[in-house]
Every structure is written in C-alpha cells, then in structure tokens.
Amino acid sequence: MSKAIGVYPGSFDPITNGHLEVLKRSLTVFDEVVLLLAVNPDKKSHFSVEERLEMMKESVKDLPGVKVDFTSGLTVEYCKKVGGRHIIRGLRAVSDFEYEFQLAASNEFIDPEVDMVFFMARQKDTFISSSTVVSLFSQGVDIGGLVPPVVIEHLKRKGL
C-alpha cells in the first residue's frame, strides 16, 4: 500500500503557530507531509531561503512524518516529483478563499490528478499571518504565543 503524501507549501516568512496547527492537523490525514518552502524570486522576503528553512526545520523537529524541502518551481510539479497527490492549504477568512479558489483552478488546469485539501484555521489563529507577526514584533509586542521560539530568535537577530 502506498503512503498518502501531502505537500504543504508556503513562503513561511516566517513560519507561525497557525502554520504549525494546520500541519499537525494534516498529519492526522496523511502518512507524510512535506512542509514546502515555495520560493518566489519576485517576492520580497524578510528572511533568506536558508533562514526560513532553518526556522521550519527547528519548528517541526519533533513531528514524525514531516519533511522540510524547498522549490522555486510550481508546487504541482513538485508534487509529481515526490509522489504527492494533495496540496495542503489553510484558510483563515473569506479573502483567503478567493485567492485559494483561483490557485486551485490553476493547479487543476496544470494537473487534474493533484487535489487541494483545505483546513480551516482554528478561531484563535484566524488573525495570524507572517506579516502580522513581523509587524507586531517590530512594534515591541510579545508574539511568543504566535510563533515558535526559533522565530523570535531570528527576528531579534534581524533587528526587525
């Protein structure tokens, strides 16, 4: 019997507890989940690819069944490469749905064999985004409950 592999892509700039909540819940559905840093060279990031991968790996080190990887290509193509048939996404609000709906349609056009699986954010996580945590941190707000400790270390090092 083959393993069910899910691919959870994102920019993870930085990874948040909201991302980790979706990841943990996806592990109840999939045998293996690839936490995929999807690199968009046109997008300005707070952290380098190496820094984001380091934070991601540290954040999931105790989660069996999780692999961390990165791609600068299409997630659908990455799925084919690793034998994944499901792309995992989190939804926080209606505005997320509009974007994700278009993304799902695009992915289906590219490869109808790859499905998108959505997890609704827990109510406590609906306001958490990478940009929000960076902004709150830069204003001196304690974001300890929103991100793994490794992220706070990196934010301090960056002076953000």
Averaged pLDDT, groups of 10, the chain, 160 residues long: 86 96 96 95 89 98 97 95 95 86 94 95 86 94 96 91
CA 80 to chain centre: 19
User: Which H or E element spans position 33?
Assistant: strand 32-38
For position 68, what pLDDT does the model report? 98
Active site residues: 19, 43, 92, 130
For position 41, what pLDDT does the model report? 77
Q: How many domains does the chain have?
A: 1
- Whichever domain contains 88, its CATH number is 3.40.50.620
What range does the domain containing 50 cover? 5-158
Q: Burial code of 85-104, b = ≥16 C-beta within 10 A, e = fewer?
A: bbbbbbbbeeebeeebeeeb
